[in-house]
Structure 1
């Protein structure tokens, strides 16, 4: 009998994952035999020096990129062999994304961007979903900005709209790629506190790629990647502990 991801208490996992780019002499191994899971209801930070494979790992886990070898699951659905359409529908219904570059639609106002996942799914938010969106808008202080388009918003406001969009459908799993990279430190901390609350209060599983020790200190668990392999898997760390470990990795390299 095959053990499922749910049996293991995981929202997503990868097994024996390898990703190479190029061929022959020019081959680059971005990931080298990685097996890891993202635990349900937990906020996981994925850290590592530049070029360690952390963004590649997240993109494969999210179905945005395909592995060279190995398997990946979101929940109990193996995504490794899925076609583009099936993958798109799965991501739309079960996964939220927060990117460093916000990725908002410039022609839509803030509320239009927040409700975009419902429009793409060809449906209106239910009463329950509408209440959740109202709650997100309030907790993110976006009320006065709902009719503004992205170019009328500050970077912090745009990122808050992106987070509201990612959480609007209450996805099982949220992937955040350097979500505080373009924000000042106060706004960054607000964004991180919100992601932490989404996992703590709503049982959502969050996987965040970051190079910032302060951002990682908000997570329940910190995975460290080096040269395409997981080199450490640690419970909640202080920013100082994360910084010291990263420094040690760079010195060892």
Structure 2
């Protein structure tokens, strides 16, 4: 299922099991899917459908039980921890529901954290990009603030700035609006949408919210660890109807 000439993430017959042979739980069951470069892809499904597991293995955060995964052309299936960590740092940006900001660092330091962790000196061009991001995200007057001095929406904006700062190949967002009110959540989704349409990023977002998923170019529906639907952009009402049908069938 290829949506562009160059997939940014490719899963080939990927399965993920937990537990032993007696109590084995299958979270992903022989999944093959391509995530298109320069696209906003939403991943949806009922609780326990495997959507979070899909995101974790697709981002190199968890090992697969079988199958292979490529991220930006790199086969990550057999990579060791050090190589995986380096690849995630260089090619992936992460936005989580819980923000995951470092409480002892101010906004400026949190945004530049990927560079600090990698021991990479920020170039003049990278610094200009970060300054532009900070301005676009409305964080210019918050750079010296610590996370506890910010609202939830501001903290999520910092997390997005951090995710985009190193211009990664793909941004992975796990329920990025789950802890936000609807207005702030809408702002965050517009920023992610802009990352795709204006800056050429690729975004993969796991969400249970049809309104959030309606911002995507493509929606993957999961059930029982399998991709059961692969649809182009849909409005929130159509997504809700599809989800309701899946839960009724289950």
Q: Identify the TM-score tier after normalising by the shorter chain.
A: over 0.9
22-31 vs 174-183, which moves further: 22-31
Q: Residue 134 of structure 1 aligns to a residue in which SS?
A: helix
Q: Residue 179 of structure 2 aligns to a residue in which SS?
A: coil
Q: 1:105 aligns with which of 73, 86, 102?
A: 102
Q: How does 1:70-219 map to 2 (within 5 A)?
A: 70-219=67-216
Q: In structure 2, how many angstroms separate the alpha carbons of the residues matched to 1:178 and 1:147? A: 27
Dislocated runs of 4+, deviation >3 Å: none
Per-residue CA shift, 1:197-224, capped at 9, x if unaligned?
A: 1111111111000000000000000000
How many residues in Structure 1 have an aligned counterpart in Structure 2? 248
Q: In structure 2, how many angstroms separate the alpha carbons of the residues matched to 1:121 and 1:8? A: 31
Q: Residue 233 of structure 1: CA displacement?
A: 0.4
Name the structure 2 match of 1:226. 223
Q: Residue 143 of structure 1 aligns to a residue in which SS?
A: coil
Q: In structure 2, how many angstroms separate the alpha carbons of the residues matched to 1:97 and 1:25? A: 35
Per-residue CA shift, 1:94-129, capped at 9, x if unaligned?
A: 110001111101100011000001111112221221
Q: Residue 8 of structure 1: CA displacement?
A: 4.1
226-235 vs 8-17, which moves further: 8-17
Q: Residue 72 of structure 1 aligns to a residue in which SS?
A: strand
Q: In structure 1, how many angstroms separate the alpha carbons of the residues matched to 2:158 and 2:34? A: 28
Q: In structure 2, how many angstroms separate the alpha carbons of the residues matched to 1:221 and 1:91? A: 23
Question: Taking structure 1 as the reference length, what is the TM-score of the superposition?
Answer: 0.96
Q: 1:53 aligns with which of 46, 50, 53?
A: 50
Note the aligned Cα RMSD (angstroms). 1.2
Name the structure 1 match of 2:38. 41
Q: Residue 36 of structure 1 aligns to a residue in which SS?
A: strand
